[in-house]
Amino acid sequence: MKAQAVRKGLVEKIPVPERMFFFRSCVASNKYPGIETGAVDALKILGVEMVETDDQTCCGGFVTFANVAAPTASMPAVARNLSLAEERDLDVCVVCNGCWTFLNEFAHFMNGNQEVKKAINMMLGMMGRSFKGTSGVYHVAELFYRLKDCLTEKVAGSRPLKGLRVATHYGCHYLNSGKYTAIDDPFYPTFIEELVEIMGGTNVWYEANRECCGTGFSQVINNKEVSYDHTEMKLDSLQAVDPDFTVVICPYCFTQLDRMQQQLHYRRGKEYDLPVVHISQLVGLALGVPTKRLAFDAHMGGRAKLGQVLKHFD
Amino acid sequence: MEERLEDWSKDFYERWKPIAMGFVNEAEKCLGCGKCTGQCPAAAVTPTYNPRKIIRDLNMGNIKRVVSSIELWQCFFCGGCYAACPMDINFPFFIFMLRLAAMSEGFGWEDVKRMEGYAEEEYLPKGITVTTRERNPYILENRPEIKEIRTRAGLEPKRKVTPRALAEINMISDLSGMTAFMKKIGGVPVYDCSRCDAEIERKCKEKVRPKKVGRIRTHDRYYNYGLPGGGGD
């Protein structure tokens, strides 16, 4: 755990504005739409309104780290997306660890490197935009943590997750890459557990808690066997404690943990029944967002159990 | 692969550092503690992958060994090594930049080629890298169409990206040389399981390693850091 004082300082630095720029994630929009509706609705109940625009594109992290685009090619794309928030004078809220680290890291690089910033602004100038570097990028999970007093107030009477056993998976790109900027320690994080406790759930520990989901970025495409091995280990460990929900904060981990259950059943004869949810869906459920709005029919893994668990909420 | 004296370069690291655009920080600070390797998820499934040895080779100038290795392409990009590093060496960025260096020596293009489709078919024309397309027949059979799911959740059936945004990212791609780079790699076959036939099944199973990717000849890569199953050195 990060020293309490350090963590408190980092959390207090996160602003609580009335409006924020909502950065859509490509995996969330196109595979699990409930992540986005959950984030928008839950934050609205907690008093933050989300502003969206169709002018926003994908963050570009995927093509960059696949070595298809050099950083010189993707940095202007990052600057362009951030300039949309700057035009509206808002901070950015993201739902994906990948978007968070990519936007943050590259914005930090451009802000610290005036020559690069100048070159990028020259390019953006041709399309009538400019990058100033004034908008902060915040992950939806850290926003929920920032708003935990408000959340506590809203769920105090009902404790909606009471009786549910919840396992957590933080993913790599929020805590590891954000060694100094993320609100928690990369090796012993606890802030999602705290949120689960506030909502009345019971946290369960499993051995592979701090392991990567196994996507391994491009490994799931280029070296499938390696990726299967890793995910198998992770899912075995999860299945051993048999949680009601596995809560993730990244749509890409979500995809891997959710869909590999079927893949590993097909390829290696494994049996899993592990419903996976995103933190925004979980908070949404707790705050009474209708299950229909949270798009649980997009979930592929753990359907039998998910059906039972969701009966508590309808 | 066989090691030769002329493959070593005393000043590669110094020459390469400015080219790596200031993304990489000081590998020479490495203490050799091996925390990076100890916590590494990629090393857990590929025992020969060893970030500590790669940093050592980079510092010592044994460059050919790094760039011609299969291990260079095994990284998961999880960033755990950076989180664990007492000297704050951001190793994932080293891997990222070393892969570019390997490509300029003619290694690893077949891996990049497979990923290029995401940029050419999805990111640039649609503005979204991961699209609604599903290739797994199980998902196609057992899940409603994504537009149905989105409509039921109260969203537009399809996430839109404005034509202006598309024009802008394509302009950025043209100006920064990404489009030219993609042309060099050439098109990419993405196998669609719902339209699988005998020929595609054969290709899928055999995984033929191409000798040429677009106009670039690719070299074979080797397990340069020990036996793939573990052991050896």
- Considering the domain architecture, whether residues B40 and B66 belong to the same structural domain is answered as yes
**Residue-range domains of chain A with CATH:** 16-140 (1.20.1050.140), 155-313 (3.40.50.11810)
- Considering the domain architecture, whether residues B92 and B176 belong to the same structural domain is answered as no
- Considering the domain architecture, whether residues B116 and B208 belong to the same structural domain is answered as yes
Instruction: Nearest by CB to A219, from B76, B88, B164: name it.
Output: B76
User: Domain tally for chain B?
Assistant: 2
For residue range B14-27, list pLDDT tens digits in order: 888 777 777 787 88
CB contact A211 to B (< 8 Å) = yes
User: Residue B182 belongs to what domain range?
Assistant: 109-214
Name the residue in chain A with its Cα closest to that of B140. Answer: A300
The answer to whether A29 and B146 have CB atoms below 8 angstroms apart is no
**pLDDT value of position B187:** 52
Cβ contacts (< 8 Å) between A223 and chain B: which residues? 73-74
Q: The pTM is what?
A: 0.90
- Considering the domain architecture, whether residues B92 and B174 belong to the same structural domain is answered as no
Q: How far apart are CA B72 and CA B51, in angstroms?
A: 9
Higher pLDDT, B149 or B4: B149
Do the chains contact at A63 and B129, CB–CB below 8 Å?
Answer: yes
Final residue belonging to a domain, choices B79, B104, B129: B104
Of chain A residues 134-193, which have a CB less than 8 A from chain B?
Answer: 172-173, 175-177, 179, 186-187
**pLDDT value of position B188:** 47
- B233 within some domain: no
First vs last C-alpha separation in chain B: 12
Do the chains contact at B99 and A67, CB–CB below 8 Å?
Answer: yes
Cβ contacts (< 8 Å) between A29 and chain B: which residues? 128, 159
For residue range B97-129, list pLDDT tens digits in order: 889 888 888 888 888 888 888 888 888 899 998
For residue range B74-104, list pLDDT tens digits in order: 999 999 999 999 999 999 989 988 898 888 8
Position B233 pLDDT exceeds 60: no
pLDDT tens, N- to C-terminus, chain A (314 residues): 567 888 888 999 999 999 999 999 999 999 999 999 999 999 999 999 999 999 999 988 888 888 887 777 888 999 999 999 999 999 999 999 999 999 998 999 899 889 889 999 999 999 999 999 999 999 999 999 999 999 999 998 888 899 999 999 998 999 998 888 899 999 999 999 999 999 999 999 999 999 999 998 888 888 888 999 999 999 999 999 999 999 999 999 999 999 999 999 999 999 999 999 999 999 999 999 999 999 999 999 999 999 999 988 87
ipTM of the prediction: 0.90
CB contact B135 to A (< 8 Å) = no
Q: Determine the average pLDDT of the residues in B122-137.
A: 88
**pLDDT value of position A268:** 93
User: Using alpha carbons only, what angle is made at residue A258 by residues A252 and A263, rounded to the nearest 5 degrees?
Assistant: 110
Question: Could you tell me the pLDDT band of residue B230, with boundaries at 50, 70 and 90?
Answer: low
Final residue belonging to a domain, choices B104, B136, B168: B104
**pLDDT value of position B38:** 92
Cβ contacts (< 8 Å) between B101 and chain A: which residues? none
Cβ contacts (< 8 Å) between A67 and chain B: which residues? 96, 99-100, 103, 112, 115
- B149 within some domain: yes
Report residue B142 CA to chain centroid gap. 31
Question: Could you tell me the pLDDT band of residue B184, with boundaries at 50, 70 and 90?
Answer: confident
Instruction: Nearest by CB to B46, from A77, A218, A226: name it.
Output: A226
Higher pLDDT, B112 or B167: B167
**pLDDT value of position B32:** 92
Segment among A15-29, A163-177, B31-45, B191-205 with least mean pLDDT: B191-205
Distance from CA of B175 to the nearest CA of A (A): 8
Do the chains contact at B128 and A29, CB–CB below 8 Å?
Answer: yes
- B226 within some domain: no
- Considering the domain architecture, whether residues B181 and B198 belong to the same structural domain is answered as yes
- Considering the domain architecture, whether residues B20 and B100 belong to the same structural domain is answered as yes
Query: Mind giving me the DSSP string for chain A?
Result: ---HHHHHHHHHHS---SEEEEE--HHHHHT-THHHHHHHHHHHHTT-EEE--TT-----HHHHHTTSS-HHHHHHHHHHHHHHHHHTT--EEES-HHHHHHHHHHHHHHHT-HHHHHHHHHHHHTTT--------EEEHHHHHHHTHHHHHHHHTTT-TTTT-EEEEE--HHHHTTTTTTSSS-SSS--HHHHHHHHTT-EE---TTTTS--S-TTTHHHH-HHHHHHHHHHHHHHHHHH--SEEEES-HHHHHHHHHHHHHHHHHH-------EEEHHHHHHHHTT--GGGGTGGG--SSHHHHHHHHTTT-
